[in-house]
Amino acid sequence: MILPLRIEELTFVAGGRTLIDRVSLELEAGPSTIILGANGAGKSVLMRLMHGLLAPTSGRVLWNAEGARRCQAMVFQRPVMLRRSALANVAYGLKVSGSPQAERMAMDALEEVGLTHVARHPARVLSGGEQQRLALARAWALHPEVLFLDEPTANLDPGATREIETVIKAFDAAGTKIIMSTHSLGQARRLGDEVIFLHQGRVAERAPVERFFPQPASPEAAAFVKGELPWA
C-alpha cells in the first residue's frame, strides 16, 4: 500500500510566481478526492508534484511505501497517443512496466472502457472522447493504486463526458484511489467523496462533498460555488 500520501509544506515556484504555497495534506485510501478551484489555482501543478512529474521547490511528497512510482498512473487533460493502434498504445504502458502478456491485459483494459471494437484502429484517428477513454484504459491496465486525473473532460462534449465519468466511477468502485482536478462543480458532485478547494496555490478548504456544496466554510469557496452554480 503506497497510501496514505503525505505532503508537507509543499511549495512550487516557477518564473518568480509561487504556484503552490506551503500546502500540507494527507490523502488516505478510499474516498475519491476532487481538487477544485478556478483556472490558475494550482490544481494541475499540485497533482504533478504528487505524481512526481515536477520537483517541488521546497517541501516533501511522502508515500507510505517504496516503489510508489509504479503504483500510480495519470490521465491528462489532452491525451497523448502514440502513432500505433489503440491496443498497442495500452500494451506499450504494460511493456514498459515489464508485464508479461501485455497484449491480453491490454485487451481486457479496452473491454473495461468499451473500446474493443476499435482495438486495431490507429489511436490518433479516434475521436477526442474515445482517445480519452483509451488514456483511461492505458492507465487502468497498469492496475494503479492511485489514479490522477487532470481535468479529464475539459475538452469533451457532454456525451463523451458522461462516458468518461462512468469509467471513472467503475475504477473508483474497483478500489482505485481517484484524485481528480476539475473546475466543474457538477462533476465534483457526481464523482467526489471529498473536495480540496485550492485558491491561489493554497488549500482554502477541505470538506466532504455533502458539506462543501451546501455550506462552504471559506469565503473563497463560497464565492466559487455561488459563481459557478448556474453552469454546473
Please report, as ranges, the residues that interact with another protein according to CB under 8 A: 48, 51, 53, 69-70, 73-74, 76, 79-80, 82-84, 92-93, 96-97, 122-125, 138
Cα angle for residues 54, 183, 166 (degrees, 5° grid): 95
The closest alpha carbon to 216, from 40, 39, 37, belongs to: 37
Instruction: Name the residue nearer to another protein (CB basis): 98 or 214.
Output: 98
Question: Distances from the Cα of 36 to the Cαs of 6, 41, 45, 63, 79, in angstroms?
Answer: 19, 9, 13, 22, 21
User: To the nearest whole angstrom, how small is the minimum distance from the Cβ of residue 126 to another protein?
Assistant: 9
Please, what sign has the CA dihedral across residues 150, 154, 157, 158? positive
CB of 3 to another protein, least distance (A): 18
Residues listed for the chain: 232
CB of 132 to another protein, least distance (A): 13
- Distance (Å, rounded) from C-alpha 124 to C-alpha 61? 34
Least separation in angstroms between residue 76's CB and another protein is 7
Bridge partners, 27 (sequence order): 5
Between helices 158-173 and 128-140, what is the axis angle to 10°?
10
Q: Shortest approach of another protein to residue 136 CB, angstroms?
A: 13
